[in-house]
Chain A
Amino acid sequence: MFEQLSENLENVLKKLRGRGKLTEKNVSDGLREVRRALLEADVNYKVAKEFIASVKEKAIGQEVLKSITPGQQIVKVLHDELVDLLGLERSELELKGSPPHVIMVVGLQGSGKTTFVTKLGKQLRDKGRSPLLVGADVYRPAAKDQLKTNGSKVDLPVFVTEHNRVLDICAEAKQTARKNHYDVLILDTAGRLHIDEEMMDELSDVKQQMQPDEILFVADGMTGQDAVNAASEFLGYLDFTGVVLTKMDGDARGGAALSIRSVTGRPIKYMSVGESMDSLEPFYPDRLANRILGMGDVVSLVEKAQETIDEESAKKLNKKIQRNEFTLADFKEQLQQIKNMGPLDQLMDMIPGMGKMKRQGLSVDGSEFDKIEAIINSMTKEERNKPGIINGSRRRRIARGSGTSVGDINQLLKQFQQMKKMMQQMNKGKMKHQIPGLPI
């Protein structure tokens, strides 16, 4: 899901990241490519345009955090805007009033309504409800059979009739529900191409009669620019309460997901991601935004950094790096700040690519940090500021003092030299190649 969009966006962001400073032009160029990536993902043209305008406004002129690269800031702006576009927060199914509750499921032909109705029924039953699926699609040949077969697969009751009068079917289903104590009716309605006015009128009649708690509009996740047309039309007729995205397990580009909420103002409530009857996921805007940006949870990381790192000392540190005055004492201070942000392995989890590396056997724990701190603590002030003076006898003393070995001291000093070298290169803007898998 979203691989294509993710990949395209990551390529754009790669160019933005690692820049010492972001100019208006950097941002504009980058955002033009973001826009292209969105359009290639079938995001509606107007939605993409507004999105870019909004990101641009927020990204340009924003003060860049010292603890991270400025490119990362763009990622955060993009992410926040994406979450905003996707609906900010998880929107739950709302079944109010007295049972039987009615959920009306509507959508275009072939969007996946019948399958969704079954999945939803199963999920509700698993949560202790007692749903009745209602075959109210009297037009598509064998639609009722499909619902019946689906229902029996997961052992859910299905209400179908011989006759084809939709309003009667609904009324009879409600009676049946009352009699047999079903508390949720899920109506599988006929899906047509939305230009069919007659059909829409019939759905309006059903709505009028049944007074549903929820009307869910089912949209195929692979739909192109037409997604917003269909959604708007259904909204106009039925004023639906929520959106369901189906077929999100293919390489759906997600344009529909990004556009429909924004155009209709209705929340996306579920996402259907597989053939199995359990493959119905609640929709979390922030998590989806993370997936789209292929970024693990860098956002939390950035926010944590914002919370814990003191801006003034970050500024000071940055100056020191620029003047090549970074010392072991500064290094220790930095380590402490990172430790303040939380357990190391949890931090690592927020970095994209790290999860995979961990699975492959990379272990991270804080003890390495403790060791380094102990070593630096055993140094004199002079040694911390001028590591060059640390000769053999000093090394032996530090090793004894910190409970480590001379080998450990050698390793740390070597790493520190490499780090300083890297910082110098960064200052000269030569830092072209970053650690693979790391966006920072």
Chain B
Amino acid sequence: MRSAFQKLKSGLKKTHESVVGRIADVFSGRTKLDDELLEDLEEILIESDLGVDATMQLLDDLRDRASEIGEVDIGALQEVLQNEIKQLLSNGSHAVQPESQDGPQVIMVVGVNGSGKTTSIGKLAHQFKSKGKSVLIAAADTFRAAAMEQLENWADRANVDIIVNRKAKDPASVAYDAAAAAISRDVDVLIVDTAGRLHTQGNLMDELQKIHRVLGKQIENAPHEVLLVLDATTGQNAIMQARHFQKVVEIDGIILAKLDGTAKGGVVVAINRELDMPVKYIGVGEGIDDLQLFDPEQFAEALFY
């Protein structure tokens, strides 16, 4: 059994190799911070999806520090850059696990189509289950063909119960039934899946609000957590997604899925920089236990060492 850290590290290996490896390459053999070096750095940061603003900020800071130091020590500048990135990652992010409380803890999961919602829910359910919590999943994605089958499949794998209503057209009614079932079955955690929607679709976004309301009517303060699933391969659009969803429902945290693809991580920096919306989990693989709590410190460490 690999430790969580090892898994994160191997999941981030690509990121590590491509970002840090390349940053080290760029710095090695250089003696002064000239335009050429800055441009190389810019390329690396942009290609890691850090976004233009974060990249410019990092490079400006680097330039300032270089002029402060006067005599340019490239090694010191490298450290400056690494620390800056680490800091951007730590901004406002605090990994929180749902707390136990009276009655079911309700987690609502939202996101655009194909971001990895259903898979994340399966992994999340498994995680709670293996901590000895009883879990119920609500299949409130009544829109996508076979969404329910897919979720049932995950519920099976995680060995948790699921509320499905194939005849339901209104996702809010499924959420309502699930909340009632969660109470009567006295489960610890209720995870509500929602249909993927592009954040630009107003009517579907209204539907989210309705699901949110319905949950709150059954269980006090529910949903207690609203998690937004973002696809790590998404570019700067991820920030727009987060903003749009935030306007409709209060987002408590982000699940950054598919971080085990190629060079990623930059989105996290951009999101942490621009939004007060902590990344809580990262998806680093396709297995059921490949969901990690996001820890900026560890994340940054895995990036740099």
Contact = CB atoms under 8 A, between A and B. Distances in A.
B47 A45 contact: yes
B31 interface: no
B236 A42 contact: yes
Interface in A122-166: 140-143, 145-150, 153
Interface string B249-282: 0000000001011111011000000000000000
Contact of A251 (B52, B116, B200, B264): B200
B52 A40 contact: yes
A142 B233 contact: no
A141 B153 contact: yes
Given A141-B149, A142-B153, A222 B261 contact: no
B263 A226 contact: yes
Interface stretch (A73-81, A169-177, A190-198): A190-198
A222 B200 contact: no
Nearest to B122: A141
B43 interface: yes
B236 A193 contact: no
B154 A141 contact: yes
B114 A195 contact: no
A286 B107 CA distance: 46
A51 to B, nearest CB: 14
Nearest to B198: A250
Interface of B, helix, strand, loop or mixed by DSSP: loop
Nearest to B150: A142
A112 B263 contact: no
A220 B233 contact: yes
Contacts of A222: 112, 231, 234-235, 237-238
A111 interface: yes
B26 interface: no
Interface in A192-209: 192-195
A226 B237 contact: no
Interface residues of B, number: 44
B46 A145 contact: no
Interface string B46-60: 111101100000000
A146 to B, nearest CB: 4
Given A142-B150, A146-B144, A195-B262, A110 B231 contact: yes
Interface in A35-68: 36, 39-42, 44-46
B47 A36 contact: no
B113 interface: yes
Contact of A109 (B47, B52, B258): B258
Contacts of B42: 45
Contacts of B266: 224-225
A24 B237 CA distance: 33
A266 interface: no
B199 interface: yes
A249 B231 CA distance: 17
Contacts of A230: 233, 261-262
B76 to A, nearest CB: 26
B65 interface: no
A149 B49 CA distance: 36
Given A153-B145, A193-B261, A251-B200, A110 B235 contact: no
12 contacts: A41-B236, A42-B235, A109-B114, A146-B147, A220-B114, A223-B233, A225-B47, A226-B261, A247-B112, A253-B235, A255-B235, A275-B201
Interface of A: 4, 36, 39-42, 44-46, 108-112, 140-143, 145-150, 153, 192-195, 220, 222-227, 229-230, 247, 249-253, 255-256, 275
